[in-house]
Chain A
Amino acid sequence: MRIGIVCPYSFDVPGGVQNHVMDLAEALIGLGHEVSVLAPADEDSPLPSYVVSAGRAVPLPYNGSVARIAFGPVSTARVRRWIIRGDFDVLHVHEPLTLSLSMLAVLSARGPVVATFHTAMTRSRVLAAAQGVLQIVLERITARIAVSALARKVQVEHMDGGAVEIPNGVAVAKFAGVEPLPGWPGECAPGAGGTIGFLGRFTEARKGFPILADAFVALAPHRPGLRLLVAGPGDPDDLYGRFPAELRDRVTFLGMVPESDKARMLRSLHLYVAPNTGGESFGMILTEALAAGATVVASDLDAFRRVLDGGRAGRLFPTGDAAALRAALAELLDDPEQRGALTACGDQVVAHYDWPVVARRVIEVYAAAIEATDGRVIDQEWAGLGGAV
C-alpha cells in the first residue's frame, strides 16, 4: 500500500504527535508498505529518509499553547505537489482540525482520507465560530481514529461522528533491550534497598508528584537504601527543596532525558510510580514502563485502570492517597514474587500496544477507507492484513 502521512507539528521540536507519527511510519515500513511523511521542518535539520519537509514552521499560539506549524499559500502548493507526486492509496492526517499542513492536505485530497485525533480537545470558541468551514474539512475525511476513549468521546459528542479507538503504540523492542543506567537499580531486599522512579513534570499538579514525595518521605527512614530516581523538565532546587535535608542524597534528578535515554531510565527501576490525579486520557507512560519491564504502581484513574487491565498488570492505589501509596510501595519492594507476577502480566498487556500490532489495526482502517471510496473489498494479502489482532 502507498501511504502518505501528514504531521502538523515540526519535527524540530519533540512532541507526542511527532513521536506517534514516526513510530507509526516505521512500523508500517516494517510491514512492507511504502510510506512518505510530510511535516514542517527547517531546511537543514536532519530527517529520517521517509520524511519530506514542507518548509519552516512558524510558532503560532493555538488552543492555550504555542504550536509550530506551517500554513499558507506556499505550504498549500507544497502539500499539493507532495500529494500528486506520492500517488497515495490512502492519506493519513493527524490533528486535521488545527490550522496546519494536515488541514491543507485534507482540503487538497481527492482519494480516501483517514484522520487521527490525538487531543481530547473540546470544541473551542474559534472552532465553534468556524463550524461551516470545519464541516467542509470533516466531510472530506473518510474514516476517523481516536487515540483514547476520551478523544473518541469528544468526536462523538462534539464533532458529530464516530471514531475507531486505536491506542498509542509503544515500540516494545526499543524499551525491552536496553541497559539500565550504570549503578542502577541496585539491591532490593526485604526491608532495605530498592529504586522507585518518576518521569514527567514534577511541577505540574495533575502529575501528582507531591503524593509520591510524601510517600517517599514517610517510607525512606524505615527503609535504608531506598532511592528515588526522577526525570523530567524542571529546576533541581525546586525538586530537592521538597525533601528534608537528610533524605536529599537518596533522591537523584536526571533533568530532562532525551527519548533515547527514557528506556534506560525506566529499566533502572524496581517500581515505576504514576501518582497522577487526573487529566490523563491514555497513560502512554504506563505502556512504556511496562515495555521496559518495570513494575508499575499507579493511581486508580479510568485510563490507568484500563491500561493495567484492572490491576492485573500493575498495582493501583486510591488516587491522591499518599498513605496507601506508601503501603503499596513497602509491600511490593518486599515481595519480588508479586513484582514478578505483575511484570509477567504486564508483558502480555503491552504486547497489544506493540507498534506492529497497532499498525495492523491502523491498516484495517485504511482498508475500510479505501473500500468506502471504491465500493470494492480489498484482499487481505494486498493490504498486509494477515494475522492482524
Chain B
Amino acid sequence: MPHLWWALGGAVLVALVVVYLVWTAGRVARLQARAESAARALDAHLLRRAAAAAVLAEKRYGVELYAAARIALDAAPEEREAAENDLTRQLRTIALDPADPACEAVIAASRRLALARQVHTDLVRDARAARSRPLVRLLRMGRGHEWPRYFDVDDPTLTVPAEAPAS
C-alpha cells in the first residue's frame, strides 16, 4: 500500500509541475508578444512624428528641421535612437503655435509618441523580467524570439506655452 501512496503523490507532484511549466510558458509567450506589438506601435508613432515634422518643415522652419526629419525616417536601426533624439532637439528649438494645424499635428504626434514610448518601456521591462527567470532560461522558453530591446530616447513631449488655449 505505501508504494501506491508514493506513486500517487509522485503523480500529483508531476502534474503540478507540468501545469506550472505550461502556465509559465504561456506567460512568457504572452509578454513577449505584447512587447513586440508595443515595438511595432512605437515604430509607427516615430514614423508619424517624423512625417508630421517634415510637413511642417516644408511649410516653414526650413532646412535643418527637414534634414532632421529625413534622417529620422531613413535611419538604420542602430542609429535610430540618436536620430530621433536629434529630431526632438530640433523641434524643441522652434516655437510651435498650437493654432496652426501643421504645428498641432507635430505636437499631437509627439504627445502620442511619448505615451507609446512609456508603454513600450514598461512592456519590455515585463518581458525581460519574465525571460530572465532561471527556470525560463534553463528550459529556453523564449527561444525563437529576439531578446526584447529597450528603445532609449529622451522624452519627446513638447512643451506648449502656458498661455496657449487648452484645446
Assess the A143–B167 pair: CB atoms within 8 A. no
Smallest beta-carbon distance A389→chain B, Å: 6
Q: B55 at the A/B interface (Cβ < 8 Å)?
A: no
Q: Tell me the nearest residue of chain B to A350, going by C-beta.
A: B166
As a 0/1 sequence over residues 96 to 128 of chain B, the CB contacts with chain A under 8 angstroms (1 = contact) are 000000000000100110011011111101100
Assess the B115–A365 pair: CB atoms within 8 A. yes
- The distance in angstroms between the C-alpha atoms of A21 and B112, with both chains bound, is 23
Q: A187 at the A/B interface (Cβ < 8 Å)?
A: no
Q: B38 at the A/B interface (Cβ < 8 Å)?
A: yes
The segment from B40-48, B64-72, B85-93, B137-145 that touches chain A is B40-48
The segment from A229-237, A332-340, A367-375 that touches chain B is A367-375
Task: Point out the residue from B44, B112, B115, B163 that lies within 8 Å of A143, measured CB to CB.
Answer: B115
- The distance in angstroms between the C-alpha atoms of A309 and B162, with both chains bound, is 9
Smallest beta-carbon distance B25→chain A, Å: 15
B residues contacting the other copy or chain, number (CB 8 A): 31
Given the complex, which residues of A lie within 8 Å of B57, measured CB to CB? none
Q: Tell me whether chain B's interface is mostly helix, strand or loop, or mixed.
A: helix
Assess the B38–A372 pair: CB atoms within 8 A. yes
Interface residue range, chain A: 35 or more
Assess the B41–A160 pair: CB atoms within 8 A. no
Given the complex, which residues of B lie within 8 Å of A373, measured CB to CB? 34, 37
Assess the B119–A368 pair: CB atoms within 8 A. yes
- The distance in angstroms between the C-alpha atoms of A374 and B163, with both chains bound, is 37
Q: B83 at the A/B interface (Cβ < 8 Å)?
A: no
- B-contacting residues of A (Cβ < 8 Å)? 135, 138-139, 142-144, 160-164, 309, 348, 351-352, 354, 357, 360, 364-365, 367-369, 371-377, 380, 385, 387-389
- A-contacting residues of B (Cβ < 8 Å)? 27, 31, 34, 36-38, 40-41, 44-45, 48, 108, 111-112, 115-116, 118-123, 125-126, 129-130, 162-163, 165-167
